[in-house]
Amino acid sequence: MDTFNAENPTPIKAVFFDIDGTLISFKTNKIPDSTKKAIENLRRKGIKVIVATGRSINTLAHISHIEFDGFITFNGGYCATTDGEILSKNIIDPNDIKNLINYAENFPLSYSLMYEDKVEINDATPEVVGMYAHVNLPVPPIHDKENIDIENVFQANIFLGPDAEKEFMETVMPNSVASRWTPLFADVNPGGISKKVGVQTFCDHFGIDVSETMSFGDGGNDIFMLKFTKIGIAMGNANENVKEIADYITEDVDNNGIEKALLHFGLI
């Protein structure tokens, strides 16, 4: 569905961007030059540009060469401005983390635990190694089972198929919520947390109404954000369930999708 009206364009004051598959190509592991220039043009016009990712706050070095106005990380669980002001922090219920660890002791389940300053995994299976290679990150260290910090986990990744997700979350991590952008694993965050929450946090911080926002994404963890912002744009390479709820579908990240959508809506 295309919400653009050329005669009365929507005034946009903030644009939110997912990283993997949106800003960064899975094929090249790079941000297209057209996207870099588009972001520069947005900021030159005074439009806020904010990252919205499932990545941790400490794994953003690969986009540090671009100026942003803020970072929604851990799928909305941790929001911070570019100058380091922390706007919000939300950790997973420690009981859910305890249940996850106990479950993995008795059943074959790989997982990672993501903290403010580190990421740890319980094993390095081919699926785990492949996932980190896919997002161009080093494989995290395996945690010490006798010394796991269950009190400060912002996000977990559970290597579980979509068919098993619902029952697992209801029985093992009932105080948390799962979302996914790949059949291989799901992101797990505190109940009630999503990128939508991060968008509202930054709207409040900058004094912007959500009717003045736009967002770009490609995965299931972007759906709440895309539905919440005034204009939600799915990349051409997005999952089908993301395209179904989007206001507009642009071309894929490797075919200058962000630049083309921003040109279409008259923002650059």
In this structure, the answer to whether residues 135 and 201 fall within a common structural domain is no
Check whether residue 118 and residue 186 sit in a common domain: yes
Q: Where are the alpha helices (DSSP H) in 82-194?
A: 94-106, 126-134, 162-171
Do 51 and 107 have their domain in common?
Answer: no
CATH number at residue 76: 3.40.50.1000
Count: domains in the chain: 2
Classify residue 9: in a domain, yes or no: no
Domain co-membership, 222 together with 174: no
Domain that holds residue 203: 14-90+193-264
CB 99 within 8 A of CB 181: no
111 and 155 share a domain? yes
Domain assignment present for 5: no
Which of 165, 190, 215 corresponds to the end of one domain?
190
Same domain for 102 and 33:
no
Q: Which pLDDT score is estimated for 193? A: 96
Same domain, 99 and 214: no
Same domain, 29 and 98: no
In a shared domain, residues 19 and 134: no
Domain boundary among 159, 190, 221: 190
Same domain as 53, residue 71: yes
Cα distances (angstroms) measured from residue 240 to each of 41, 71, 188, 237, 246: 30, 26, 21, 9, 10
DSSP letters, 187-200, are EEEETT--HHHHHH
Residues 6+ apart with CB under 8 A from 158: 100, 109, 110, 111, 168, 178, 185, 186, 188
Three-class HEC string of 99-114? HHHHHHHHCCCEEEEE
pLDDT tens-place values along the chain, 268 residues long: 333 444 446 689 999 999 999 999 989 989 999 999 999 999 999 999 999 999 998 888 889 899 999 999 999 999 999 998 999 999 999 999 999 999 999 999 999 999 999 999 999 988 889 888 877 788 999 998 889 999 999 999 999 989 999 999 999 999 999 998 888 899 999 999 999 999 999 999 999 999 999 999 999 999 999 999 999 999 999 999 999 999 999 999 999 999 999 999 999 9
3 assigned to some structural domain = no
180 and 130 share one domain:
yes
- Note whether 18 and 101 are same-domain residues: no
DSSP code, position 129: H
